[in-house]
Copies of this chain bind each other. A is one copy, B any other.
Amino acid sequence: MRNLKIIIEYDGTAYCGWQVQNSSRKRSIQETIEKALRKILQENIKIIASGRTDAGVHARAQVANFKTKSKISTDKLQAALNGNLPKDIVITAIEEVASGFHSRFNAKSKLYRYIILNRSYPSALLKDKVYFFRYPLNVALMREEAKALLGKHDFKAFCASSSSAKDTVRRIKKIVVKSLPADSKDGSRIVIDIEANGFLYNMVRNITGALVEAGRGKFPKGSLKRILAGKDRKLAGPALPACGLSLVQVKY
């Protein structure tokens, strides 16, 4: 059996997320790719991703792998997949990897990006790709607050209360809050990059939600540090919508 690693770019708008959700009428990204693989390879393929993404979340470079008996070249398989997949899912690379490679277990860290469009009117061309927030945000303050999250912590306060995760300790390697210039073509965007060894359910959307509360002046200085220490989801404010979020990179 060959072990193939694929890199996937997707627009998550039309999907229930990476994995099948019985509660949703929408299709999952995983089943859509598996169906295309089944058609091309005439095999029942099960693909393993680096991790799930939620309904409406995008990916620039999700990583997955699967085993196959097929001898098809990776170039041919990539072209056949892209020919059979809907336009909002694209395989950007395929390579054969060692049989032991596992997209999820071997992932060392993941980089997520959250984009806020911060101006007085939304964007038609970026709809479903950014979160539109019309009130002024203090980016310097958001950057300062974010620092409290760097390093190894119990992120229970930023984990969805519906999650069944027992171990809520994760390590944030990088958290960068950047402001793109207001005179840029698409208006003023605030880009928040978070790299961690793993993420809890809704963790990025909960962290960015708390940062927005801080940036708009609803949370006093030092709030993120206190929320983190409090380990209570109710302290952190609302999660931001999925549309602003994308999985940018998985590191191995």
A interface list, Cβ under 8 A from B:
9-11, 58, 60, 78, 82, 87-92, 121-125, 127-129, 185, 246
Contact = CB atoms under 8 A, between A and B. Distances in A.
Contacts of A128: 87
A82 B185 contact: no
Contacts of A90: 121-124
Given A60-B185, A185-B60, A124 B78 contact: no
A208 B25 CA distance: 41
Give how many copies assemble into the complex.
Answer: 2
B129 A87 contact: no
A87 B122 contact: yes
Contact of A88 (B58, B82, B127): B127
> Considering residues A60, A89, A90, A128, which has the most beta carbons from chain B within 10 angstroms of its beta carbon?
A90
A125 B121 contact: no
A124 B185 contact: no
